């Protein structure tokens, strides 16, 4: 083996060889091995791969590689979730236009161009990480062939009664001029102003004081409410009160949900200032005044304020209130406002005609299914359950955008009848194509308008479990459905995990996945959110180029408990790199000593104490690592293997057996064979256990040292080791531990005397404390002598507290140099 560990060369080589070998292809014809399918999230193409992506794909890939070695037929697919506001906004910014400025086709073409570029960048990063994806499965949600699936699912859900069109209040982004779902609203803390405004009572000189942070909504005031238990105000319930500046009156109503302690305890109900207004309007059957237009201006309903944008209207109304003597005072408050998760504009609530998916009736089923499957870590399931319980509205699935899957619907121009595409029509774009019918089935009309609204991008990505399994094209798609594992980030549980659940439950009456793996977010080294402006940003391509995939993957695997947020620390990657160098060096050393070793000739098993000791510990390590992988505790798996490799295998075993391997004339061929056998098998086991985490280096060593004997074309398709109970030897472990603490005590002695570790010891006297212990220590003398370079070792049974005490034992040692 070459002396230097050249990770760039090794990693590139294996990435392309694995692809040539085709070992990551799911075998669609194999019905013998059990399938294991990973519901890989199709990411939004957003440019360069970032460290968050590195964390996610390392998780997915470790599971895929581990399961493959467990003998499963693994499906690890990869798609790209192309559509969405994010891309539209970036195209607008890059070209300095608004989407309505250019023909829609041109705009879509620019979106596709940008998405293709971003996919190229992200794919390069994912390949560099060495993810074992089956690239024959690659798909893009913007391709008409994928539209086909999204549209088909829409048609089927429509037929099952889950899709409806209605005029309901929805979250609305005025900047992007589109409806958005609850899940796309971020809540941010902001400083606002509370205005105390006089509302005069009808036929009276009395007034009530109302505190509001949104005075611009006064023109849409439809009622004033107080808590019926609030004795300051409950005698006003039922009376009329005039809306300031508007020359009209509304009724004062009683409503238990009013908090008497907020503001003045008197509240204006406007359509719609917030979600509470929506609830009150529905409950008390109040009229709706549509105050805002779709681009965030005041409508005709706002009388003299019509045409102003929200902020302008606020200023104008506050000025008029002040002039009229109706503004009593203002005060600053901290408030939470909803903003669009893409463009950060403040979200408004508008009542508009939209397409909805009936999701509220599925909430109980979502919760039940979430509870029935394992989550890694378990507590994360509450995020889905809490979100589901908190939802008030059905899912608004239509969007007023361009770059998206079209809704396969037309309307009859004369009677308004809805014409839905037949299953055989899709993919189809009603914005450009006519429905394949001669006339309207209701009125016989022959002219139709295609739906110009398009589908929410989550409508594309929330059928992945079925799509990955081969739906709707493969008759046997249920073989891979539900997906074995759904990996999700803490940030997308409320969207992706939730939408997958409701979509598949509605479509197939079956949950989409049988387990969930959650990853946290990647933070900067300072524990804050990673961002370029905070100067704590690490660019994934730079990290991968500098330290290689195997080192970086160790950071991802070992950076923290699964599901927790993980800081990116360059020193973690560096530690990973140094570990690989250590492993490379020890493998080089072993391959020299094992040059003529023929593993097929069963070693004559005269195992020495330390052989039995490390073989037993290796079995226990295997058990711990297997359990950790089963529970997706990657940090535990990687720490166990690294500590064992470094501090048990390299520090003690390899040092101890050097003499036995170099000097067979002294110790005999059988003894040497036992050491060779042990060295060979333990190293192989470590490579196997590490293979899911650091696939490249383990493959390189495997190919150089083990290919012929073990016979698997890649370590990645070798069979995961089963714990061999016959090799577990508690007595050998205990006795071997004593030998190693004697070694470390002597090493400490050298260190304190400022001697190098390989400094020879002329005489080493070991006082065992009793005859029994002396027998044990004598079994390890050869190894102790080799490790410590001790010329003479004397083991005495007597108890003599002299020299250095060895750990917790009764053993003492004395050294002479």
Binding interface with Zn ion (CB under 5 A): 173, 175-176, 340, 342-343, 345, 412, 414-415, 417, 440, 442-443, 445
Which residue lies nearer to Zn ion by CB, 193 or 345? 345
Q: How far is the CB of 171 from Zn ion (least distance, A)?
A: 10
Residues 384 and 396: their CA atoms lie apart, in Å, by: 19
Is 390 buried (19+), middle (13-18) or exposed (0-12) by CB count in 10 A?
Answer: exposed
Is 308 buried (19+), middle (13-18) or exposed (0-12) by CB count in 10 A?
Answer: middle
Q: What dihedral angle (degrees, nearest 10) is formed by the CA atoms of 634, 637, 642, 645? A: -150
Which residue lies nearer to Zn ion by CB, 422 or 446? 446
Which residue lies nearer to Zn ion by CB, 303 or 443? 443
Which tokens sit at 702? Answer: 């495997």
Residues 292 and 261: their CA atoms lie apart, in Å, by: 30
Task: Quickly tell me which residue has 């005060």 as its tokens.
Answer: 331
Which residue lies nearer to Zn ion by CB, 172 or 305? 172
Which residue lies nearer to Zn ion by CB, 374 or 445? 445
3-class secondary structure, 660: helix
Nearest to 702 by CA among 717, 684, 689: 684
Say how many CA atoms lie within 13 Å of 288 toward its Cβ. 17
Q: What dihedral angle (degrees, nearest 10) is formed by the CA atoms of 786, 787, 790, 796? A: -100
Which tokens sit at 254? Answer: 């009683």
Which residue lies nearer to Zn ion by CB, 308 or 437? 437
User: What does each C-alpha distance from 572 to 237, 546, 547, 693 come to in angstroms?
Assistant: 66, 13, 11, 14
| CA angle, residues 129, 567, 43, in degrees to nearest 5 | 45
Which tokens sit at 71? Answer: 């003998």
Which residue lies nearer to Zn ion by CB, 75 or 440? 440
Strand pairing partners for 415? Answer: none
The string of DSSP codes covering 723-769 is: P-GGG--HHHHHHHHHHHHHHHHHHHHHHHTT--TT--EEEEEEE-S
Q: In angstroms, what is the C-alpha Rg of the chain?
A: 35
Q: How far is the CB of 645 from Zn ion (least distance, A)?
A: 50
Nearest to 661 by CA among 795, 786, 486: 786
Q: How far is the CB of 109 from Zn ion (least distance, A)?
A: 22
Q: How far is the CB of 104 from Zn ion (least distance, A)?
A: 19
Which residue lies nearer to Zn ion by CB, 330 or 414? 414
Which residue lies nearer to Zn ion by CB, 175 or 240? 175
Which tokens sit at 451? Answer: 């739906």
Q: How far is the CB of 411 from Zn ion (least distance, A)?
A: 9
Q: How far is the CB of 273 from Zn ion (least distance, A)?
A: 19
Say how many CA atoms lie within 13 Å of 107 toward its Cβ. 21
Which residue lies nearer to Zn ion by CB, 47 or 441? 441
Q: What dihedral angle (degrees, nearest 10) is formed by the CA atoms of 164, 168, 171, 173? A: 90
Q: How far is the CB of 181 from Zn ion (least distance, A)?
A: 12
Q: How far is the CB of 338 from Zn ion (least distance, A)?
A: 11
Q: How far is the CB of 445 from Zn ion (least distance, A)?
A: 4
| Side-by-side strand order, sheet with 395-396 | 178-180, 163-173, 348-357, 395-396
Q: How far is the CB of 348 from Zn ion (least distance, A)?
A: 11
Which residue lies nearer to Zn ion by CB, 79 or 84? 84
Q: How far is the CB of 296 from Zn ion (least distance, A)?
A: 11
* DSSP code, position 376: E
Which residue lies nearer to Zn ion by CB, 253 or 440? 440
Q: How far is the CB of 340 from Zn ion (least distance, A)?
A: 3
* DSSP code, position 513: B
* DSSP code, position 4: S
Nearest to 463 by CA among 441, 491, 429, 486: 486
Which residue lies nearer to Zn ion by CB, 440 or 777? 440
Q: Are 791 and 659 in contact (CB under 8 A)?
A: no
Which residue lies nearer to Zn ion by CB, 412 or 781? 412
Residues 152 and 160: their CA atoms lie apart, in Å, by: 12
Residues 51 and 522: their CA atoms lie apart, in Å, by: 7
Which residue lies nearer to Zn ion by CB, 448 or 767? 448
Task: Quickly tell me which residue has 């050998």 as its tokens.
Answer: 732
Task: Quickly tell me which residue has 């000189």 as its tokens.
Answer: 205
Q: How far is the CB of 418 from Zn ion (least distance, A)?
A: 10
Q: How far is the CB of 119 from Zn ion (least distance, A)?
A: 23
Residues 761 and 774: their CA atoms lie apart, in Å, by: 20
| Inter-helix orientation angle 609-630/730-752, to 10° | 100
Q: How far is the CB of 157 from Zn ion (least distance, A)?
A: 23
Identify the helix (H) or strand (E) that includes residue 393. none
Q: Are 700 and 587 in contact (CB under 8 A)?
A: no
Which tokens sit at 145? Answer: 């062939």
Residue 249 phi/psi, 5-degree rounding, is -120, 155
Q: How far is the CB of 366 from Zn ion (least distance, A)?
A: 27
Say how many CA atoms lie within 13 Å of 746 toward its Cβ. 30
Is 330 buried (19+), middle (13-18) or exposed (0-12) by CB count in 10 A?
Answer: middle
Which residue lies nearer to Zn ion by CB, 172 or 720? 172
Q: How far is the CB of 303 from Zn ion (least distance, A)?
A: 28
Which residue lies nearer to Zn ion by CB, 87 or 701? 87
Q: How far is the CB of 346 from Zn ion (least distance, A)?
A: 9
């Amino acid at each position: 083996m070459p002396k230097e560990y050249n990770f760039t060369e090794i990693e590139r080589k294996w990435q392309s060889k694995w692809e040539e070998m085709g070992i990551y292809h799911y075998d669609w014809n194999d019905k013998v091995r059990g399938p294991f399918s990973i519901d890989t999230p199709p990411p939004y193409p957003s440019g360069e791969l970032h460290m968050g992506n590195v964390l996610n794909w390392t998780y997915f890939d470790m599971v895929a590689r581990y399961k493959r070695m467990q003998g499963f037929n693994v499906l690890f697919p990869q798609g790209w979730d192309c559509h969405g506001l994010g891309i539209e906004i970036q195209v607008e910014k890059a070209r300095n236009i608004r989407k309505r400025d250019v023909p829609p086709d041109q705009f879509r073409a620019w979106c596709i161009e940008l998405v293709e570029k971003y996919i190229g960048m992200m794919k390069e990063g994912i390949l560099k990480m060495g993810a074992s994806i089956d690239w024959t499965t690659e798909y893009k949600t913007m391709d008409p062939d994928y539209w086909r699936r999204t549209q088909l699912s829409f048609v089927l859900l429509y037929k099952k009664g889950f899709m409806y069109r209605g005029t309901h209040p929805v979250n609305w982004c005025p900047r992007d001029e589109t409806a958005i779902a609850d899940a796309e609203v971020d809540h941010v803390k902001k400083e606002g102003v509370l205005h105390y405004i006089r509302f005069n009572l009808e036929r009276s000189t009395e007034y009530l004081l109302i505190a509001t942070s949104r005075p611009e909504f006064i023109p849409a005031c439809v009622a004033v409410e107080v808590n019926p238990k609030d004795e300051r105000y409950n005698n006003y319930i039922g009376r009329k009160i005039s809306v300031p500046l508007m020359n009209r009156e509304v009724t004062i109503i009683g409503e238990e949900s009013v908090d008497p302690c907020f503001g003045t305890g008197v509240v204006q109900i406007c359509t719609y200032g917030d979600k509470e207004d929506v609830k009150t309007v529905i409950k008390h059957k109040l009229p709706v005044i549509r105050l805002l237009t779709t681009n965030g201006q005041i409508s005709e309903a706002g009388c003299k304020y019509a045409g102003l944008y929200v902020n302008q209207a606020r200023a104008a109304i506050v000025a008029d209130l002040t002039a009229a003597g109706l503004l009593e005072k203002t005060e600053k408050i901290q408030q939470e406002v909803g903003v669009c998760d893409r463009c950060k504009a403040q979200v408004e609530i508008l009542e508009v005609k939209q397409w909805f998916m009936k999701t509220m009736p599925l909430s109980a089923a979502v919760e039940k299914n979430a509870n029935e499957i394992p989550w890694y870590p378990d507590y994360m399931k509450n995020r889905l359950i809490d979100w589901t319980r908190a939802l008030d509205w059905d899912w608004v699935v239509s969007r007023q955008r361009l770059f998206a899957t079209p809704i396969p619907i037309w309307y009859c121009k004369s009677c308004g009848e809805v014409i839905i595409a037949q299953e055989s029509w899709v993919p189809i774009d009603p914005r450009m194509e006519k429905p394949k019918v001669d006339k309207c089935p209701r009125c016989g009309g022959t002219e139709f308008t295609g739906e110009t609204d398009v589908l929410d991008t989550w409508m594309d990505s929330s059928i992945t479990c079925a799509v990955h399994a081969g739906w709707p094209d493969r008759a046997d798609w249920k073989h891979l459905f539900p997906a074995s594992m759904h990996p999700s980030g803490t940030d997308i549980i409320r969207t992706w995990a939730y939408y997958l659940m409701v979509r598949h439950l509605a479509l197939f009456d079956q949950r989409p996945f049988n387990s969930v793996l959650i990853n946290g977010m990647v933070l900067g080294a300072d524990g804050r959110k990673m961002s370029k402006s905070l100067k704590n940003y690490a660019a994934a391509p730079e990290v991968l180029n500098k330290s290689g995939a195997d080192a970086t993957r160790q950071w991802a695997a070992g950076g923290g408990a699964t599901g927790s947020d993980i800081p990116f620390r360059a020193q973690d990657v560096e530690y990973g790199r140094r570990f690989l160098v250590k492993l490379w060096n020890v493998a080089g050393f072993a391959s020299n000593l094992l040059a003529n070793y023929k593993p097929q000739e069963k070693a004559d098993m005269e195992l020495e104490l330390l052989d039995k000791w490390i073989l037993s510990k290796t079995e226990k390590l295997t058990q711990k690592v297997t359990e950790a992988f089963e529970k997706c505790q990657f940090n535990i798996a990687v720490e166990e293997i690294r500590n064992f490799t470094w501090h048990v295998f390299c520090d003690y075993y390899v040092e101890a057996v050097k003499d036995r391997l170099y000097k067979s004339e002294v110790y005999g061929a059988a003894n040497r064979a036992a050491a060779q056998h042990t060295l060979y098998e333990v190293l192989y086991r470590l490579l196997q256990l590490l293979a899911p985490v650091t696939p490249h280096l383990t493959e390189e060593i495997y190919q150089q040292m083990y290919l012929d004997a073990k016979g698997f074309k890649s370590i990645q398709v070798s069979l995961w080791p089963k714990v061999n109970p016959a090799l577990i030897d508690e007595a050998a472990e205990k006795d071997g531990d004593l030998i190693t603490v004697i070694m470390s005590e002597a090493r400490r002695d050298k260190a304190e005397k400022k001697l190098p570790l390989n400094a020879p010891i002329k005489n080493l006297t070991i006082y065992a404390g009793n005859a029994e212990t002396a027998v044990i220590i004598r079994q390890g003398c050869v190894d102790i002598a080799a490790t410590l370079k001790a010329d003479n070792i004397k083991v005495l049974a007597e108890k003599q507290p002299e020299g250095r005490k060895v750990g917790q034992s009764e053993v003492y040692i004395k050294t002479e140099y």
